[in-house]
Amino acid sequence: MTTSTRATPAAPAVGVPRTPAPRGPAVRARILEAATRRFYADGIRAVSADRLIEDAGISKVTFYRHFGSKDDLVVAYLEGVADAEEGALTQVRSAQSDDPASVLRWYANHVAEVSCSEGFRGCAFLNAAAELAQADHPARAVVARHRSWLRTQATELLVEMGMEPDAAGRAAHALLMLRDGAMVAGSLDGDPTAVGQGLTAAGDAVIRAARA
């Protein structure tokens, strides 16, 4: 993952929700904004539909007109987080298409920065997977799709760096595990420099081993 430092486009927090951009009717957007804030801060299971109805200042009938169930709202919440992260990474890949290693370094540094930031409550996708243990819960499909997308991005970047596809796939899987661990370390240690350096060094070791 060693590369020169280059400017990258601004990006939202990795795996952490931001205020969603308004989509569709204003009332639906208000419900989703309340859910995004509450689900991440307090936990999906801890937040009731009644709590969100109160936060959004709407009636129960209005709530269920826009979201047939709380599960539908959870899916929309996670899709919004995924869209933001995927859009950010796509933007960086486009801006630095000639330097795939720099994209991996950007991601590692961004994970470290976010994980040590105030208000960080862990990766929204890992949190959701831990809370929603049922394999057939619709939100689990969103989590699985997004993580598959991240692995695919890492695999493609490693192939662009000259790695064989099979080795790149294995290395990408390991890099995603490092990303998960770095988020936990960041939330506990609070030192973005140390977390970023540790994640980058571990990533470099994974890539060297995959090339051997």
Which of 135, 128, 134 shows the shortest CA–CA distance to 82? 128
Whether residue 179 contacts residue 16, with contact meaning beta carbons closer than 8 Å, is answered with no
pLDDT, one tens digit per residue, over 25-73 is: 789 999 999 999 999 999 999 999 999 999 999 999 999 999 999 999 9
What CA dihedral angle connects 23, 24, 25 and 30, to 10 degrees? Answer: -20
The two tokens of residue 189 are 């240690």
Which domains occur in the chain, in start order? 71-211 (1.10.357.10)
Which residues are CB-neighbours of 94 under 8 A, at least 6 positions away? none
Q: 4: pLDDT confidence band, cut at 50, 70 and 90?
A: very low
pLDDT, one tens digit per residue, over 133-152 is: 899 999 999 999 999 999 99
- How many whole angstroms separate alpha carbon 5 and alpha carbon 155? 21
Distances (CA, A) of 91 to 74, 95, 107, 212: 26, 6, 12, 31
Classify residue 16 by its DSSP letter: S
